[in-house]
Amino acid sequence: MDNLKIIGASALVSCDNAFSVWENGAVALASGHIVDIGKLETLRRTYPNAPLKFYRHCALLPALVNPHIHFEFSGHKNTFKYGGGFEGWLTSVMRHRESVFKGLDRHIQQAIRVQLRSGVGSVGAISSHGLERETLARTPLRVVFFDELIGSTPHALEQNLADFERRCALSRQHASAHFIPAIAIHAPYSVHKTLAQRVLDKIDLKTPISAHFLESKPELEWLESKQGWFGHFFSDILRVQHPVYSYENTQDFLDLFSKRHLLLVHALFARPEHFQHAKKIAAQVHVITCPRSNRLLSGQLLDLTLLRAAQIPYALATDGKSSNMDIDLLEELGYALFTLPGNLEDNALELLLGCTRHASQALGLSNGSLEVGKVADLSVFPFTKVNTPLEIVLGMVRAKKARALYIQGCQVF
């Protein structure tokens, strides 16, 4: 087998359905994919001529996946308002967002380095303007690039549609195994139903679709009762004197995604019937949670019991620096472990899968677990104990950075 090599470590954590942990485990790689997995001594006998890289006192895992990040806000530090709820934050974003785009390429490069250093091999990048497209297309990262649709006023539908299609065309020019164009519908309050439907009608059903969903209580009030703070937002901040209620209710918004691959981001104020409806109408539905962002903007954390009851998997993400202190997925992992209620061991397992297998599935990728046939995106972390999911997560958080990273079988560092 051409170009076959073996990567091993003192422990291997598969993150597959069985969640196997191998002592002195290894994977055999060829053409960027995993072709065998097992005990190191077995693989060495099977492939005696294959070059070997072994990481002692380390654990080999899938490369991590950060499924929701806004690189365009990588230059933000303290411009936006916090402590006044989602409403105060959004108002400050609308008034001051242009100021955080200065020197953006340098900040995006730093954000990419943070992802790689943390053992992240794949990201779901949400792009409102396309400012990070060229830089991300050249990065070692595997990027699912979500061009984001925004536009709620009826008289501007054609212009918003033309602008969006132009950005999507530019993204398609970079399409490759490492750069996968996708679509984001910003939020129910910011995208007119007709505009969203016209865009979705042209998109393949298998394309991942991301949407910010019920991140705040005012959004739920706007969808369900057509009143509340968003009336002020449109009239006084956006200067739209007669805002249009283009969705009948929350289910009407979700119906846009019938038979589609849907990522619902945040979902803090979603009720059980919303999750059940999403699961019923979508081909597959995933929830993306960003705990630090949620706590900072809305003062809440996602109720995981609702997702478990609906049997909907969740993935862990950092969001962007507009609503977070940093975009380090290991920091997010530690915060989630220590703050989300519930059994610590159970949460650790869910969170580890939430930044590997479940995050990969959310983005429609073929990585996120160490299995034969999967893309060889691997991370290596220094470890002393790997007996339980909790020990694994604590070890990753304690390490603060990866020891090594491989994407498509090629070593990044």
Rg of the chain over Cα atoms, rounded to whole angstroms, equals: 21
Q: Provide the CATH number for the domain formed by 5-63+369-411 in this structure.
A: 2.30.40.10
pLDDT per residue as tens digits for the range 92-107? 998 887 778 888 999 9
Q: DSSP 3-state assignment of 67?
A: strand
Alpha carbon 42 to chain centroid, angstroms:
36
List all residues 6 or more positions away from 150 whose beta carbon is below 8 Å from its beta carbon: 128, 160, 186, 190, 191
| Model confidence at 78: pLDDT above 90 | no
List all residues 6 or more positions away from 244 whose beta carbon is below 8 Å from its beta carbon: 152, 153, 154, 192
pLDDT per residue as tens digits for the range 129-158? 999 999 999 999 999 999 999 999 888 999
What's the average model confidence in pLDDT over 45-51?
97
Give me the residue spans of the domains in the chain.
Answer: 5-63+369-411, 64-363
pLDDT per residue as tens digits for the range 270-305? 999 999 999 999 999 999 999 999 999 999 999 999
Q: Which of 1-5, 116-120, 168-172, 192-196 has the lowest mean pLDDT?
A: 1-5
Contact 179, 136 (CB under 8 A): yes
pLDDT at 1: 64
At position 372, the amino acid (one-letter code) is: V
Nearest-5° angle of CA 145, CA 149, CA 155?
Answer: 160
Strand ranges across the sheet with 410-411: 33-39, 21-30, 5-13, 52-62, 378-382, 404-407, 410-411
pLDDT at 385: 85
pLDDT at 84: 81
90 or 77, higher pLDDT: 90
Token code pair at residue 283 = 């081909």
Residue 86 pLDDT grade (very low, low, confident, very high; cuts 50, 70, 90) = very high
Contact 284, 262 (CB under 8 A): yes
Instruction: Give the DSSP letter of residue 131.
Output: T
How many percent of the chain have pLDDT more than 70? 99
79 or 410, higher pLDDT: 410
Q: Quick one: CATH architecture of 64-363?
A: Alpha-Beta Barrel (3.20)
Torsion angle, alpha carbons of 386, 412, 141, 98, to 10? 110
pLDDT per residue as tens digits for the range 228-267? 888 888 887 877 777 778 999 999 999 999 999 999 999 9
Contact 3, 15 (CB under 8 A): no
